[in-house]
C-alpha cells in the first residue's frame, strides 16, 4: 500500500520541489517542472513489453530506456551538456531511474 504512494510521489510531487530549487530567470519553476515531468515519457518503452505492466518486474535493466546503456547515456549528456533544458531533462531521466530502482528494492525487500 505504501509502495505506490512513495513511487508516484517521487515521480510527480518530489520533482515539483526540484523545480523550485532549479528555477532560473528564464526558466520559471513551472517550466522546469514540465521539463522534469517530460522525463516520464521514457515509460513509453513499457508498451512493447509483454505484459505491458507486471508489478513483479523491475523496470531498471529490463525496458529499453531503462537499460544500462541508456542510463550511461543520460549521465553523459547530463555531465557534458551546456544547454540548461537538456541538463534538466537528463536530470529528470536519472531521477526517474533512481525512483524506479527504489521501487524495485521495495518490491524485493518489503
Contact 74, 39 (CB under 8 A): no
CA–CA dist 20, 95 (Å, integer): 16
Q: At a CB cut-off of 8 Å and minimum separation 6, what does 12 contact? A: 37
Question: CA 32, 34, 37, 41 torsion: positive or negative?
Answer: negative
The pLDDT of residue 19: 96
Residue 104 CB contacts under 8 Å (≥ 6 apart), including other chains:
58, 59, 60
Question: What 3-state DSSP class applies to 56?
Answer: coil
In this prediction, residues 2-26 reach a mean pLDDT of 93
> Which grid cell sits at 84?
540548461
Tens digit of pLDDT for each residue in 78-96?
A: 999 999 999 999 999 999 9
For the cut 90, the answer to whether the pLDDT of residue 109 exceeds it is no
**Whole-number Å distance between alpha carbons of 40 and 36:** 8
Q: pLDDT tens digits, residue range 16-72?
A: 999 999 998 889 999 999 999 999 999 999 999 989 888 888 999 999 999 999 999
- Given this model, what pLDDT does residue 101 score? 96
Residue with cell 531521477: 95
**pTM above 0.95?**
no
- The structural domains of the chain, with segments of one domain joined by +, span 2-109
Amino acid at each position: 500500500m505504501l509502495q505506490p504512494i512513495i513511487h508516484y510521489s517521487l515521480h510527480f510531487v518530489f520533482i515539483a520541489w526540484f523545480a523550485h530549487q532549479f528555477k532560473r530567470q528564464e526558466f520559471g519553476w513551472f517550466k522546469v517542472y514540465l521539463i522534469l515531468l517530460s522525463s516520464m515519457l521514457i515509460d513509453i518503452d513499457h508498451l512493447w513489453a509483454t505484459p505491458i505492466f507486471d508489478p513483479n518486474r523491475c523496470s531498471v535493466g529490463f525496458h529499453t530506456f531503462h537499460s544500462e546503456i541508456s542510463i550511461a547515456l543520460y549521465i553523459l549528456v547530463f555531465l557534458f551538456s551546456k544547454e540548461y533544458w537538456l541538463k534538466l531533462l537528463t536530470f529528470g531521466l536519472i531521477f526517474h531511474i533512481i525512483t524506479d530502482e527504489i521501487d524495485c528494492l521495495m518490491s524485493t525487500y518489503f
